[in-house]
Amino acid sequence: MKPLLQIIIAAAGLTAFTLSTEKDFLSSNTSYAHQQLNHMLTETATRDSLAFPRTMDSAGRMTTTSMYDWTPGFFPGSLWYSYEQTKDPAIYQQAIRWTEKLEPLKDFTQHHDLGFMMYCSYGNAYRITGNKAYRDILIQGARSLSTRYNPVTGSIKSWNAFKSWHGEQKYFYPVIIDNLMNLELLFFAAKETGDTSFRHVAVSHALQAMKNQIRPDYSSYHVVCYDTLTGKVLARETAQGYADNSTWSRGQAWGIYGFTMIYRETKDPRFLKTATGMADWFLNNKNLPADKVPYWDFNAMQKGYTPGVRSYANKVTTKYRDVSAAAIVASALFELSDYVAPAKGAQYRKTAISMLHTLAGPAYRAPEGQNGNFMLMHSVGSIPHHTEIDVPLVYADYYFMEALQRYQSSL
């Protein structure tokens, strides 16, 4: 190999791999993803046309949700990535079909997840097709999401109510760390319309999350509950993590990805510092397994961490992995690597590539036609709720595909 090429490949974080083996890796994974998605499309044809793939039941069959759950955007989003990767016109038609089913969501205001629901579907659709009708639907979706903002709390309300795992206490202005992901829709609407109020809402929410949701060591709380009269924090608890003071792995992943995206949109160095702080906390954590696929919570079953009395986490003795968190982090690191100093960027990129290889290996990637036709195995939806434990999840596949796409575009 010529020295210059060696230097370029090393800087790109490819020291252990050659460009041609990486191209083969990408092409075999994108072709695998295309096949799994086609199997899933065949299965969806046997179901209600408004049933959106989510996970798998104990018999190995795909299970679905309605479009009003938080995950309907991920299947159309994966179809868009597959179209980008294969240019298959049949996948293009299916991506349009599955995206357009979600049009009613543009007026939905009952929870905060509109960013996930619309930006992964219509956002990719608009990016790839340039169809102005999709842009207008996204902007209306951003208006609907903005209705959940309150200037007193400076935040978007995630759920209408949250019941503590400790007893009967209910909170009526809960904000969860996942909500950072929904801000991308608002940044998009601000740029498209010139209406700065969308950006104001997004930045205010991000600053409040940075202040109240992230601990000084850059680990994170899952749920922060606000008082709407004073704007003060009433409680910091968990909904899907092990304990209030623990760090739920997917929550940390949403934070890494979310603050990276917020830095991209604002160029405010405080957000970059938070994104790198959270990434370093995740990657350097002594509780992160060697293959960098985290346990579902960094502090599960550890001394000093106690689940609420009603939480199913009290009954679980297995330290399940959460592959979805690893897929989100791998995708985020590809982007974050572009925003930091070259040496640190090369390290993030190398980590992202090696995580992607791990996810695509036999321990986590299902054989074709199995796993309910989802790609990745071993994710966790919510142990406290006793749901979706050690299963495939549609969003793990989406961020896996996004990471493949980010890697492919960067070669």
Q: Which is nearer to ligand GLY, 30 or 182 (CB)?
A: 182
Q: Which is nearer to ligand GLY, 84 or 178 (CB)?
A: 178
Q: Which is nearer to ligand GLY, 70 or 74 (CB)?
A: 70
Residues designated catalytic? 113, 178
Residue 11 CA to residue 24 CA, distance in Å, equals: 20
Q: Which is nearer to ligand GLY, 85 or 240 (CB)?
A: 240
Q: How far is the CB of 380 from ligand GLY (least distance, A)?
A: 9
Positions in the binding site for ligand GLY (CB under 6 A): 70, 178, 240, 250
CA-to-CA dists, residue 115 to 30, 35, 381, angstroms? 25, 27, 19
Ranked by CB distance to ligand GLY, the top (closest) residue is 178
- SS3 letters for the chain? CCHHHHHHHHHCCCCCCCHHHHHHHHHHHHHHHHHHHHHHHHHHCCCCCCCEEEEECCCCCEEEECCCCCCCCHHHHHHHHHHHHHCCHHHHHHHHHHHHCCHHHHHCCCCCCHHHHHHHHHHHHHHHHCCHHHHHHHHHHHHHHHCCEECCCCEECCCCCEECCCCCCEECCEEEHHHHHHHHHHHHHHHHHCCHHHHHHHHHHHHHHHHHCECCCCCECCEEEECCCCCCEEEEECCCCCCCCCCEHHHHHHHHHHHHHHHHHHCCHHHHHHHHHHHHHHHCCCCCCCCCCCECECCCCCCCCCCCCCCHHHHCCCCCECHHHHHHHHHHHHHHCCCCCHHHHHHHHHHHHHHHHHHCCCCCECCCCCHHHCCECCEEEECCCCEEEEECCHHHHHHHHHHHHHHHHHC
Q: How far is the CB of 78 from ligand GLY (least distance, A)?
A: 17
Q: Which is nearer to ligand GLY, 250 or 365 (CB)?
A: 250
Q: Which is nearer to ligand GLY, 13 or 241 (CB)?
A: 241
